[in-house]
Amino acid sequence: MTRFLATRAGIWTGFAAAALVLFGAAPLLLSGFRLGLFAQFLCYAIVAVGIGLAWGRGGMLTLGQGVFFGMGAYLMAMHMKMADAEFRNGPGSVPDFMELAGIRELPAYWAPFSSPAFTIAAILIVPTAFAVLLGFAVFKRRVKGAYFAILSQALAGAFAILLIGQQSMGGFNGLSRFRYFFGYNLDDPVNQQMLYFIAAGVLLVVVAVALQLRRSRYGELLVAVRDAEERVRFLGYDAANIKVVAYATAALFASVAGAIFVPVVGIISPASIGIVPSIMFILGVAIGGRASLVGPVVGALAVAAAQTALSEQFPSAWTYAQGLLFIVVIALLPGGIASIAAATKRFRKEPATAEATA
């Protein structure tokens, strides 16, 4: 089956099946509330695809994807707050949370976000450009491994703390109470379903982009850099450039996911983008199987669903279950859920091959 999925026909079949589930089965079977939750999980899955690329294929343990997720989310939230304020009090008026905080003048950096086009461009460009600059600074100096992981995690922590201190960005409470998404009323169930479809569509596009990157020569080169960076450098490549591409792509995916997350969930606060959420992103990818294409998606969805289900039943048990899950996967199944098929095959074959090679 895995062999078939690697062929052209197999890829189309896989995408068709996924589209059927996402656009056909899920909206039919799930209630509006559950579909909204599923849309939220799909946002996590979009982040996971990027992590799968940067970490699974490129070896960069991106412990701070919350930064890029948060950038996309806050940029979108700023636009939605501006649009709401304009709808209530006319152009140039101050969003409601600023009024409560006593801010009378609209800060200058908020003004351009009344434009939808500017906002979308910012969501696509700002986090990507930031990742490119950061990537060059870090990878040109050959910072890698645990040092890179710690650096990116610290960045996520710093970003959350920075936002908590900004009253004009909602501070600790973040930005919430959105009414409109590009003119569509968010209370309308039809529009909520539309948001779900956007999340599902973006996930398919992001998986397709990741697939192309994996199958391209670039994808082979990325694996080469992950496994033997020095060798690649001594073949005449600048390894930093190769890593930056994967890192920036992962940042772009996370930013888009954050931008969709805001209208779906209706709130963004520093608590959703700091160190703990960043580790949650990694956890899903590790459990699903970081080196595979679909593994991160499955892992992210599974972890998010398990978290929701368990915290509904036993509110305090989730943290323990999460830790246990992580230990079990790392100890018994380092390749994640995606490697179960290969692992069982190996397990069955072992007695036979052991004799053959002896």
Partner 1 sequence: MSTTALTCKNIEVDFDGFKAVNGVDLTLDRGEVHFLIGPNGAGKTTLVDAITGLARYTGSVTKDTAGKGAVELRGKKVHHIARAGIGRTFQTATVFENLTVAQNLDIAAGAGRSPWTLLRRRAHLPANVTAVIEQIGLHEHADTPAGILAHGQKQWLEIGMLLVGDADVLLLDEPIAGMGADERETTGRLLHDIAATRAVAVVEHDMDFMRAFASRVTVLHAGTVLAAGTVDDVSNDPRVQEVYLGTTHTESDMEPADAATA
Give me the residues that bind partner 1 (CB under 8 A), please: 212-213, 215-218, 220-221, 223-224, 227-228, 230-239
Annotate 119-157 with DSSP letters as a single string: HHHHHHHHHHHHHHHHHHHHHTTT--HHHHHHHHHHHHH
Round to whole Å and give the CA distance between 145 and 143: 7
Whether residue 273 contacts residue 44, with contact meaning beta carbons closer than 8 Å, is answered with: no
Which is closer to partner 1, CB of 228 or CB of 342?
228
Task: Give me the least distance between CB of 222 and partner 1, in Å please.
Answer: 10
- Residue 101, class by beta-carbon neighbours within 10 Å (0-12 exposed, 13-18 middle, 19+ buried)? middle
**Alpha helices of 165-216 — where are they, by DSSP H?**
189-215
- Residue 1, class by beta-carbon neighbours within 10 Å (0-12 exposed, 13-18 middle, 19+ buried)? exposed
Which is closer to partner 1, CB of 124 or CB of 223?
223
Task: Give me the least distance between CB of 162 and partner 1, in Å please.
Answer: 34
Closest CA to 210 of 135, 283, 295: 295
Which is closer to partner 1, CB of 185 or CB of 241?
241
Task: Give me the least distance between CB of 9 and partner 1, in Å please.
Answer: 16
Task: Give me the least distance between CB of 18 and partner 1, in Å please.
Answer: 21
Which is closer to partner 1, CB of 198 or CB of 223?
223
Task: Give me the least distance between CB of 213 and partner 1, in Å please.
Answer: 7
| DSSP state at residue 69 | H
- 267's enclosing H/E stretch is strand 267-268
Task: Give me the least distance between CB of 146 and partner 1, in Å please.
Answer: 21
Which is closer to partner 1, CB of 177 or CB of 231?
231
